[in-house]
Amino acid sequence: MNTTKPRKWIFWISIAAIALQLTPGLLTTYIYPDEIGVRRSVFGGIQDEDFTQGRRISLPLIHRWYRLPRTLHYLEFNGTNDLDLRTREQNVMHVDVAVIYRILDGQAHLICREGMANSYHQRIKSAATGFLREHLAQMSNTDIQNPDKRMRVAKEAITPLNKRLKQYHVQVVDDGVVIRAITFDPPYEQRLQAKQYFAVQAELDVAEQKKSMAKQKTDTVQKGIEKDVAIEREAWNQRIELARRATETMIARVEADGVKYDRRVRAEADATFEKLVAEGERATVEAEAMGQKLRAQALSSKAGKTYSAIIAVRAFKLGDIQLNSMDPEFLQRFGSMKAWRRFFLGD
């Protein structure tokens, strides 16, 4: 069996696979997010395009790439590299200042075309140095000590500085000129600091004086408030006392009316009671008198007399009586019903 032919196919397939893996790296270049790519061709020169992030065609020996920073650029004048200039009073000052700028959109290829790919930063520094020396020198010693004026001068520098830097295809960002510090030569710096110290001390004295005046005014207002409070408290105490007295008077009046009403009602009740008692007693007496009268009338009749005799007989106890039958009047006195009726009834 012949295995040579299949082995050749496997070999060529492997070569092709390796070639496919290496081709992107050999025939392209990668532009990173913080870069601006500018492609230069052997035949056409600088291409009129700024390339953003991504993989771009790059043929060996034909294409060459420039990589410019897409991020912000910082031009700093500090330390031994600070700006030395004279103020309007002819005092030498050393300014620590920073300029923040960026490449204009779509103009990175112009920088490369004009041959500034490796030198544009130095050119910008040279142009900014001359401008800042001229622009910042307009500040006076008083302006330098005022933060607001320093910020205003720095902000006013942006527009004219951009006009000078436009030829280099860059632009200073908003608030891109920052004055971080200003110093003078030691002798003058000491005098200036002493002057500032006295100025600050004077302001502190004025502030202390204002504080004392404000405290005095506050004390006066407070005393006035306390006086008003005392007057108002006294007025309210008087109102409360008057209200209390009125309430006590009202309570006393109500209590007096209550006592008066109680006495009147009790007197009326007692009078009514006595009247009713008297009327009852009189009615009782009248009833007793009427009963006695009726009884007397009843007893005065024959039936009444008989009833009285019956009652008398029932209550009569003769006791031991010795009679002499030999007495001639015996039969006359006790022998007849007439005698007994007369004895008991008196008739």
Residue 38 has pLDDT above 90, yes or no: yes
Looking at residue 192, its pLDDT comes to: 64
Q: Tell me the CA end-to-end span of the chain in Å, nearest whole number.
A: 194
Helix axes of 147-156 and 158-165: crossing angle, nearest 10 degrees: 30
Whole-model pTM: value is 0.51
Q: What mean pLDDT is predicted for residues 195-206?
A: 76
**Which H helix or E strand runs over 178?**
strand 170-184
Query: What is the chain's mean pLDDT, rounded?
Result: 80
Q: How far apart are CA 321 and CA 33, in angstroms?
A: 170
Looking at residue 59, its pLDDT comes to: 80
pLDDT bin (cut points 50, 70, 90) of residue 93 is confident
Q: How far apart are CA 120 and CA 123, in angstroms?
A: 5
pLDDT in tens, 100-127: 999 999 999 999 999 998 999 999 999 9
Residue 52 gets which letter from DSSP?
A: -
Q: Please check whether residue 116 is in contact with residue 123, taking contact to mean a CB–CB distance below 8 angstroms.
A: yes
Looking at residue 44, its pLDDT comes to: 83
Domain residue ranges in the chain:
23-69, 73-184, 302-345
Q: Looking at domain 73-184, what is its CATH homologous superfamily?
A: Band 7 domain (3.30.479.30)
Looking at residue 294, its pLDDT comes to: 74
Range with the largest mean pLDDT of 18-32, 87-101, 162-176:
162-176
Looking at residue 168, its pLDDT comes to: 94
